[in-house]
Structures are given as structure tokens and as C-alpha cells.
Amino acid sequence: MSVKLLSSNKCFEGEQRIYSHFSNVLGCEMKFGAYVPPANLEDNVTCPVLFYLSGLTCTHENFIQKSGMQQYAAKYGLIVINPDTSPRNLDIPGEEDSNDFGTGASFYINATQEPWSKNYQMFSYITDELVQLINQNFPVIPTKKGIFGHSMGGHGALICALKNPGLYQSVSAFAPIANPVGCPWGQKAFKGYLGDNQDLWKQWDSTYLAETYSSGPIELFIDQGCNDNFLKEKQLLPENLLQAASSNDHLQTIYKQRAGYDHSYYYIATFIGEHIAYHAKLLN
């Protein structure tokens, strides 16, 4: 699997790059960001890899431009990969009709309903095809992977870890959609991508996955701004995930509540260093 370099900018002595490649899983050209730290560029060190999943309406660019993560990835010697949030330019009827379904709103699941099922296989893309692509094309340590994300991407990070025990050695989430079966965003997306069977919905919901998880121990680092309007509107429901995890001996949780912070990238930029340090400790 080959990648095409689209751009590269020096940043904190490393390089922030953007690549494209054709995804056989998604059936379209996909872009992703890759920060390569100076530990590799200057010292030829192979590095742990940290995957970041963005939220609704985002592309691969938001995290690169707004989070300020590069200085911390450079400090801790991590390669950071951030894919796009959905397949693009497929000409599926309705894919551009709303900002919470279709383009930019994959929810990182594998769709089962037509016309989405052919291309909207983001879970398989993130956990299989992209992992193989990065292992083959970047100087990473394949056994040292972490995953994190924001909002819809926080949901994605959690399900990727809970449904693939052992694949990731660290996981965290900023303001995740933690119980999509119980919120309007998730209900709309799951009905569209998965149909009416709510037992199937639960297979893609981190709260229900936390109830039934029975593999090796995982620690979930959940971060939440207390002034987040979507928290107040019951779109996120972290309390349901925390309750489910608390009764499961295979799961541990860290829950940080950030007084005064909202759902924006100002919030993410404030605490991104803490998250990357957390991942680095577990990956290094």
C-alpha cells in the first residue's frame, strides 16, 4: 500500500505532513496527517504511533491546525496520525444534506444499510487498513499504538479500543459521544447506517461495550469540559459510560472535568499536552 506526500512543513524540529492514498476499504481517495518527530528525523529512532480521530464536520486539517499537538509529539517522540472523518466525494444521495450524517459524520462504524454499506466502513479502515498502511510506510513500532479523539472521534477511539483488545496500548477521549444509542446525534446516525435493530446499535456504543467487555485490562481517560453545551443537551452522556465501566473489573477510568471549558478546540489545545504525556507514558 503506497502513500502520496501532498505537503510537508517543519514544525518543532519535526515535520507535519499530509498524505493521500486510495483506500480499498472505503473505495475512495483519503487524506491523513502525519507528524514525524525529530527523534526519527534526526536520530533515526523508530517511534510509537498515536492515532487521533476528529469530530463531526471536521476533516484531517482541524486537528493539525488548531490543537498545537506538534510540540508535545516532538517532546515525547511520537508519530501522530490523524485520518479524515469519513469517505469523500462518493456522490451518494444525501451525503451532503446535513452536518451530522454522511460526509464528515461517519461515526467510525461499519455501515450495514444501503447505500452507505459499500463505502462507510470507517471502523475497518481505522483499525485495519490504516494501521497496516502506517506500519508499512512509517518508522513506527507496531506494538506501541495509542488512540484518542474528540466528540464523535472520542466515541470512535473508545469503540476502536473496546472492540479490539490489545490493539492499542493507550486510549483517551475529549468530550466523547459516550452513549450514542441514547442521544439524538447517535440515534440519527445509527438508524441511517445500521437500520432499526437497536441490538446492533449497542455493538457500536462504548457504554454498552463497557458493560460486556471481558478481555485484558484497559484504562479509559475521559476528559470533559463542564461548560460544554453538548454535555448540557445530553448529546455526550459520559456519566452513563462511567457507570457502566465502574461495574466492570476489566476497566479502569480516569475522568477529568474542566471547569469553564466548552467543546471547542480552545479546550482541546489547553489539555492536549496532558493527553499526549499520558499516552507517551504508556507507549514509551
Residues involved in catalysis? 151, 228, 263
Q: Which residue has the cell 487524506?
A: 31
CB 225 within 8 A of CB 262: yes
Residues 140, 81: Cα–Cα separation, whole Å: 11
Phi, psi (deg, nearest 5) at residue 171: -150, 135
Show the cell assigned to 110: 461499519
Give the CA angle between residues 86, 92, 95 to the nearest 5°: 55
Provide the grid cell at 113: 444499510
Does residue 115 have a cis peptide bond before it, meaning omega lies within 30 degrees of 0?
yes
Note the residue count of the chain: 284
Distance CA 115, CA 271 (A): 39
